[in-house]
Amino acid sequence: MQAMTREAERAEQPLCLVLIDIDHFKKFNDTHGHLVGDKVLKFVARELNACVKGRDLACRYGGEEFALLLPNTRLEGAYALMDGIRALLEVQSKVEPSLGENVEGVTVSAGIASYVRGEPTEKFV
């Protein structure tokens, strides 16, 4: 993040951060067990990685939270990307077919921030 904020300042380019939380994740673990919960995490991670390109970075932020760092992306572009990801995840009917579990309703909530020149990374987050 520090490298990307420095680069955004140097190049005078936009940078967005998206924080993503899997909705009702505890319910997946309680209803289907931790193995399925792990599969939900992997499923979301795969989908996020498939949706980013170039220098965009998708990573796990902690627990059931993920982060996207989107260099050279304005707020509107970050919103459009996240809305597409949200819709894609919502229509998936199975997280891991090999488990024989039909895990429907994987939804996420997200917050999006645009980096302001000179702000500390803690404030950006």
* Residue 64 and residue 21 in contact, taking contact as beta carbons nearer than 8 Å: yes
The side-by-side arrangement of strands in the sheet containing 15-22 is 57-62, 65-71, 15-22, 108-114
User: DSSP secondary structure string, 40-54?
Assistant: HHHHHHHHHHHH--T
Cα–Cα distance for residue pair 56/11, rounded to 1 Å:
16
* Residue 114 and residue 74 in contact, taking contact as beta carbons nearer than 8 Å: yes
22 burial (CB, 10 Å; 0-12 / 13-18 / 19+) is buried
Residues serving a catalytic function are 64
